[in-house]
Amino acid sequence: MSEKEVAERQPAPRTTDAVELARIARRLRQDVIRLVAPTGQGYVQQGLGAADLFAVLYFAELRLDPADPEWMDRDRFLLSTAHNTAIFYATLAARGIADPAAVEDYCKDGSPFEVNASERAGRMIEATLGSLGQGLSVGIGMALAARRRHSPSRVYVLLGDGELQEGQLWEAALFAGSSHLSNLCLIVDDNEMQVEGHIDKVVKVAPIDEKFTAFGWVAERVDGHDVPALLACLERARGRDRPTCIVAQTLAGKGVPSLEGLLAHNLKLPPDIAQEALQALAASERMEGANAAEA
């Protein structure tokens, strides 16, 4: 299938309008709270922080056909931080790739929508990951396979900055740069948080962009909540002859003032906090709507 044919195969809604993508991200944040609230705890902070990344990837960048999840020339997305599933599943449901009713069973006994994303949930999950640091290696294999069969599909890997402490990841990065895998794009969710707290108090990984550049990649640093900047980074990545690493600085708990910057890896979310979070997100949406009307 040609590049043009792949680009035209987009039956589901897709947009590059920054205002609309920001609106989608706000709705995804609300869905994160709703999914996690019944269990009372979960990966809320990461989900709120990564909502803009997921909105841009799934509603603007990735070439997918929800009606045909096994389409050979689809783009591949790998969530290396496989526990950050509230935002992942919320996005799949919003994009029409997963059944919203099934996603509502998130973390319930017997549900395939488990805390760690696995292929039990269906073909929409490209690989069962979870051991941190392995997602890039899997993505490299997919990128190599696509190149060998002359497919226009691209591979996108999202990982957390804490994963950069894993040795396997740097072996993979060295191989990808040496192999000039231009169809590979890595996004680092740089939220400065891992299970033990602030990343610098465990093992410092900065400067991330300079390290990937030294390994033969093109690396860019961007505000992970700046939708136009994210779109521009992804656009530039498609025209290169080397793999791209986008270091996206995000704020844990983004969108909920009482949670922003709180480094809680697995956040307790009692009903009152969940309700407060939903109210804050709804107020933000109303404010954005009012500002847009005045403009």
pLDDT given for residue 2 in this prediction: 47
pTM (predicted TM-score): 0.92
pLDDT given for residue 132 in this prediction: 86
pLDDT tops 60 at residue 133: yes
pLDDT given for residue 210 in this prediction: 97
pLDDT digits (tens, 9 = 90+) for 232-288: 999 999 989 999 999 999 999 999 999 998 887 777 888 999 999 999 999 887 777
pLDDT given for residue 289 in this prediction: 64
- The CATH number of domain 3-294, selected from 3.30.70.1710, 3.40.50.970, 3.40.50.720, 3.30.390.50: 3.40.50.970
pLDDT given for residue 117 in this prediction: 87
Residues 6+ positions from 263 with CB-CB distance below 8 Å: 45, 192, 193, 197, 198, 252
Pairing of strands 41-42, 267-268: antiparallel
> Where is average pLDDT lowest: 47-51, 212-216, 257-261?
257-261
Residues 6+ positions from 255 with CB-CB distance below 8 Å: 26, 29, 48, 51, 280, 281, 284
pLDDT tops 80 at residue 10: no
pLDDT given for residue 197 in this prediction: 76
Query: Percent of the chain beyond pLDDT 90?
Result: 68
Domain boundary assignment for the chain: 3-294
pLDDT digits (tens, 9 = 90+) for 52-68: 999 999 999 999 988 88
